[in-house]
Amino acid sequence: MTISKRQLNLNVGINTTGYLANAWRYRTGTRHDINDPDYYRRLTELAHKGLFDAVFFSDHPALMTDPNGRPFHTIDPLILCTALAAQVPDIGFVATMSSTYNSPYNLARRTQSTDIISGGRLIINIVSSFNPNVAANFGAEPLPPRSERYAKASEFLDVAKQLWSSWDPAREGDIPENRFWDAATAQAIDHAGDYFTVKGPLNVPVGPQGHPVIAQAGASESGIELAARHGEIIYCNILSRAAGQAFGKKVRDRAIELGRDPSGIRIVPGLVAILGETRAEALRKHELFSGAGSEDGLLARFVKDNDIDPHGFDPDAILETERFIPDPNRIQAVGMGLGLSDLLAHEKLTARQAVRRSEGHHRLVLGTPEEIADSIVDLWADGTVDGYTLQPPRAPDDIEEFIDKVIPVLQKRGVYRTSYEERTIRDRYGLPNPFRSNGNSRAF
Amino acid sequence: MTISKRQLNLNVGINTTGYLANAWRYRTGTRHDINDPDYYRRLTELAHKGLFDAVFFSDHPALMTDPNGRPFHTIDPLILCTALAAQVPDIGFVATMSSTYNSPYNLARRTQSTDIISGGRLIINIVSSFNPNVAANFGAEPLPPRSERYAKASEFLDVAKQLWSSWDPAREGDIPENRFWDAATAQAIDHAGDYFTVKGPLNVPVGPQGHPVIAQAGASESGIELAARHGEIIYCNILSRAAGQAFGKKVRDRAIELGRDPSGIRIVPGLVAILGETRAEALRKHELFSGAGSEDGLLARFVKDNDIDPHGFDPDAILETERFIPDPNRIQAVGMGLGLSDLLAHEKLTARQAVRRSEGHHRLVLGTPEEIADSIVDLWADGTVDGYTLQPPRAPDDIEEFIDKVIPVLQKRGVYRTSYEERTIRDRYGLPNPFRSNGNSRAF
């Protein structure tokens, strides 16, 4: 691995018609794209042209059947990423999967298989699932409480890491001519914990990245604990410098407490970028793509989403922070709701200002390509973030626009690659190989 | 679908170095092939050149760690088949997976995803798992008893079939301009059975084959029940015409009792073919590839495998059938052991003859390309079998030889295709689409 200048990391989400539920009305393409593997190939080729680190698939193993919504999670992400990896070189793949509704052996095996097949291009985004619709597809039991789901997720990854390193051909000694292999390269893990009993070894060997890169989302207390312990790429919602720095410090401090080197953590939050020839055009596109239709519509949605009494509401009054702290016991992903309260904890904002700072829970940047590039570099330059996971309102349109107009600006500023260099995603993110650091292949 | 002349169906197994554990000493390639995705791509391209219906991957989710053996099941079969489908056109894929250690929702989703991505080229071989090593990778509980595993497998496939048809875009009505989709195309299945409670709908729509073709192995009583109920392609070991006809009748009669049209069942047993310029050369290769070394070695293995007292054993005396009926309670897959007893029930054979009739539990055919072709056509012509799943002792060598020497003979006799015609595996096997037969997309 060569020592290279710090670079901006960029992933791009390519679920169905794009990130924003209402933006499909303004996109190129047909409604049938969402289940067409060739559509995802074209999006991945586009992302490859933009030299993105990886394409990102969020996921729930359930069909959301709201007639006014749209199916957002369809073809299995790991299966789709496996096919795409066989079709498109270089680029990485973030596949989201549930630690609550998978077994560690099967998941460790499948993901290591895809990592081997892709030549070390897999990132797995482990989520503990929060939706009762998901639980109902996996038995009569309700969703376990959050604390249990996260404890289980943590042990799940402990087991997976043991399995991923349990068969290492690099341990091979001399093999007599009449034998096919050195069976001592594979060792049982004999794990017996609170949630899992797994003998091993895994029947897939150590992969090109040691194991797939582990991404982790969720900013609740349990989410931060899991991120600090296992997360290599943290996908989160960071709406301001102060909030981002506080979040990063929290995760890294906790990692140190757990005895982990925090230099193996990358913070790559979501970002919604809407471009215009002018800022005014970008604001107008935001009103349309969000489905709100106008600035008044955005304000009305804000009032409704935050349970504010509309009578006497002043969109130009400074908002009170306490009003926006989410209930930690609610069913929705808690971490996703923290963005706004974190933002307001550090900045005095009116509702009129706040509605232009986030969309779909993520940081919203609006303006000309130069302005967008400024906003991206701003939080990256001082290390608040290591990069972004672009969540384009419309696919393919907003990916194309970003590649045509923003990427060249980032390249001109010298913060973004002009070609793919590193072979694995782990190397591209400058993350350590988990099993090789001490010359001891089982250390992690 | 056009009505076409009955054709011989041929699949080919491509696990690791080939089917026979000891034949690797005589093969082309390196030991590292077994975990190299490119090796499997080359084998699949080779199988494509031979116009095989499908490549076949058997599987156990466990690493067999015998130092004198070899790892035989490594990269996850469905993941591998998904990548191969993106690289090689036309050919189908048989991926083996366990109904005991998967959840119906995830498995139905993943397999339908691969079927969509491959354009309708997936066959799933559902096994209930019989190995305690497998159980130990999935918890502290021992392997459930066979009857429970098969009952669970049957309900598993009932659930999967409901899920596979639960979201059908063909049901779409008029969609108002401001809506993305017709949510009525997706219906919950609300399954609550003995083993599974699953709400649905699946978040992947009906695929190009309705659902993936279902293969089923296992000839125990429970295995036959499952085959009759759900199997479309039956992978089994049939060593003679009489045994094959008895087996086929049993499965089809049971299907009729269950109200199923038996014309949707194809019998495609395993076949080990060893070619020589002369029959003598083929016999010699059999002795080497089997690891026995000589005919005496084959006889010694026979004596040992069948727990026969070697003192006074006469290899040229007619064997007694009763002696070879396997214990139905043993741990090994019962169906695999039935081949020899079924053979002896219909033919009077000595041990010297019997050792040349099967290898690795499957029918063994030895001789010149013409003799091999004769043996294959023999049981196919009268419908005893619909084709074979070739299990080459060595990969790639015995696949190459078969394609170069036997395929042209089969083509000259007019029983085997000269190009790929049908798009899906279902059409290639002449199997009905499970959801379209009555114009009712949910009928199956």
**pLDDT tens-place string over residues B293-319:** 999 999 999 999 998 999 989 999 999
For residue B5, the model assigns a pLDDT of 81
B/e letters for A152-163, b = 16+ CB within 10 Å, e = fewer, are bbbbbbbbbbbb
Structure-block tokens of residue A224: 């931060």
Give whole-number Cα distances, A43 to A52, A373, A403, B87, in Å.
Answer: 12, 22, 12, 18
pLDDT, averaged across chain A: 93
- Using alpha carbons, select from A39, A40, A50 the residue that is nearest to residue A9: A50
**Contact of B104 with B163, CB cutoff 8 Å:** yes
Write the single-letter amino acid at A210.
G
- A313 lies within 8 A of chain B by CB: no
Q: Is the pLDDT of residue A336 over 60?
A: no
A 102-121 residues with CB < 8 A to B? 102-103, 105-106, 109-110, 113-114, 116-117
Give the closest-approach CA distance of A341 to chain B in angstroms. Answer: 32
Judged by a CB distance cut-off of 8 A, whether residue B170 touches chain A is no
CB contact under 8 A, A24 and B180: yes
Interchain proximity B74–A137, CB inside 8 Å: no
pLDDT at A217: 87
Q: Which residue has the tokens 């060893």?
A: B274
- List pLDDT tens digits, range B181-215: 999 999 999 999 999 999 999 999 999 999 999 99
| Cβ–Cβ below 8 Å for A63 and B167 | yes
C-alpha to C-alpha distance for B217 and A183, rounded to whole angstroms: 29
Cβ separation A61–B109 shorter than 8 A? yes
A443: three-class secondary structure by DSSP: coil
| pLDDT of A69 higher than 80 | yes
| Interchain contact A86–B (C-beta under 8 A) | yes
CA–CA distance, A181 with A47 (Å, rounded to integer): 41
Flag whether residue A67 sits within 8 Å of chain B, measured between CB atoms: yes
Alpha carbon distance A345, A322 (integer Å): 8
Whether residue A137 lies within 8 A of chain B, CB to CB, comes out as yes
In angstroms, the separation between the Cα of residue B343 and the nearest Cα of chain A is 33
pLDDT band at B440 (very low <50, low <70, confident <90, very high): very low
Residue in B with minimal Cα distance to A62: B203
- Number of A/B CB contacts below 8 angstroms equals 179
Pairwise CB contact (< 8 Å): B137 & A180 = no
Residue A34 pLDDT > 90, yes or no? yes
Q: Tokens representing B112?
A: 């339908």
**What pLDDT is attached to residue B289?**
98
Please check whether residue B131 touches A, CB under 8 A: no
Give pLDDT tens digits for A99-149.
999 999 999 999 999 999 999 999 999 998 878 899 999 998 988 888 899
- Mean of pLDDT values over A394-421: 98
pLDDT above 60 (res A441): no
Q: How far is residue A163's CA from residue A249's CA, in Å, rounded to a whole number?
A: 31
B431 to chain A, closest Cα gap in Å: 25
What are the chain B neighbours of A205 within 8 Å (beta carbons)? Answer: 35, 74
**CA–CA separation, A205 vs B334, rounded Å?**
30
**Candidate from A388-402, A424-438, B29-43 with smallest mean pLDDT:** A424-438
Collect contacts of B412-415 with beta carbons under 8 A, ≥24 apart.
B413/B373, B413/B377, B414/B5, B415/B7, B415/B8, B415/B377, B415/B380, B415/B381
How much is the pLDDT for B441? Answer: 39
Distance CA B105, CA B110 (A): 9
- Please report which confidence band the pLDDT of residue A221 belongs to, taking 50, 70 and 90 as the band edges: confident
- The pLDDT score that the predictor gives to residue A334 is 54
Q: What is the pLDDT of residues B310-365, one digit of tens each?
A: 998 999 999 998 888 777 666 555 555 668 888 898 899 999 999 999 999 999 99
| pTM, to two decimals | 0.95
Interface touch B117/A80, C-beta < 8 Å: yes
Condensed to tens digits (0 to 9), the pLDDT of residues A266-318 reads 999 999 999 999 999 999 999 999 999 999 999 999 999 998 999 989 999 99
Which residue of chain B has the CA closest to A185?
B65
Measured in degrees and rounded to the nearest 5, phi and psi for residue B94 equal: -105, 115
- Interface check for A93 against chain B (CB to CB < 8 A): the answer is no
On whether the CB atoms of residues A107 and A76 are closer than 8 A, the answer is: no
User: What pLDDT score was predicted for residue A339?
Assistant: 81
Give the pLDDT of residue A253.
97
In chain B, the residue whose alpha carbon lies closest to the alpha carbon of A37 is B117
Q: Is the pLDDT of residue A331 over 80?
A: no
In whole angstroms, what is the distance from residue B192 CA to residue B159 CA?
Answer: 9
Question: So what's the pLDDT on residue A332?
Answer: 58
CB contact under 8 A, B35 and A63: no
Whether the per-residue pLDDT at A442 is higher than 50: the answer is no
Tens of pLDDT, residues B214-254: 999 877 888 999 999 999 999 999 999 999 999 999 999 99
Quick: pLDDT tens for A165-184.
999 999 999 999 999 999 99
Residues of A whose CB is below 8 A from B204? 35, 74-76
Contact A140 B197 (CB under 8 A): yes
From the candidate CATH numbers 3.40.50.1820, 3.20.20.30, 3.90.1150.10, 3.40.50.300, the one assigned to the domain spanning B9-173+183-273+379-428: 3.20.20.30
In this complex, the residue of B17, B66, B137 whose CB is nearest that of residue A200 is B137
Beta-carbon contacts of A390 under 8 Å, excluding residues fewer than 6 positions away, are A10, A11, A12, A13, A52, A271, A273, A399, A402
B30 touches chain A (CB under 8 A): no
Is the pLDDT at A55 greater than 70, yes or no?
Answer: yes
pLDDT above 90 covers a percentage of chain A that reads 85
Nearest chain A Cα distance for residue B348, angstroms: 37
Q: Which residue has the higher pLDDT, B437 or A127?
A: A127
Give the confidence band of B443 by pLDDT, cuts at 50, 70, 90: very low
Going across the sheet that includes B387-390, the strands are: B266-267, B233-235, B213-217, B122-127, B92-98, B54-57, B9-13, B387-390, B270-275, B362-367, B358-359
The residue-averaged pLDDT of B133-147 equals 91
Spell out the domain ranges in chain A.
Answer: 9-170+184-277+363-428
Average pLDDT value for residue range A80-107: 97
Q: Could A69 and B102 be called an inter-chain contact, meaning their C-beta atoms sit closer than 8 Å? A: no
Which residue in B87, B117, B203 is closest to A63 by CB distance?
B203
Q: How many residues does chain B have?
A: 444
List all residues of chain B from 327 to 356 with a beta carbon under 8 Å from chain A: none
Segment A393-411 shows an average pLDDT of 98
Q: Which pLDDT score, from 0 to 100, does residue B24 have?
A: 97
Residue A293 at interface with chain B, using a CB cutoff of 8 Å: no
Contact A196 B139 (CB under 8 A): yes
Q: Do A200 and B133 count as a contact with CB atoms less than 8 A apart? A: no
Residue of A nearest to B83 (CA): A83
**Three-class SS state of A442:** coil
Residues of chain B neighbouring A136 (CB-CB closer than 8 A): 198-199
Candidates 3.20.20.30, 3.40.50.20, 1.10.760.10, 3.40.50.2000; CATH matching A9-170+184-277+363-428:
3.20.20.30
Question: Which residues of chain B does A212 touch, with a Cβ-Cβ cutoff of 8 Å?
Answer: none
Judge: B79–A79 Cβ closer than 8 Å, yes or no. yes
- Measured in angstroms, the CA of A106 and the nearest CA of chain B are apart by 7
A217/A234 Cα distance (integer angstroms): 6
For residue A306, what are its two tokens?
A: 């935050």
Judge whether residue B266 has pLDDT over 80.
yes
Would you call A26 an interface residue with chain B, using a CB distance cutoff of 8 Å?
no
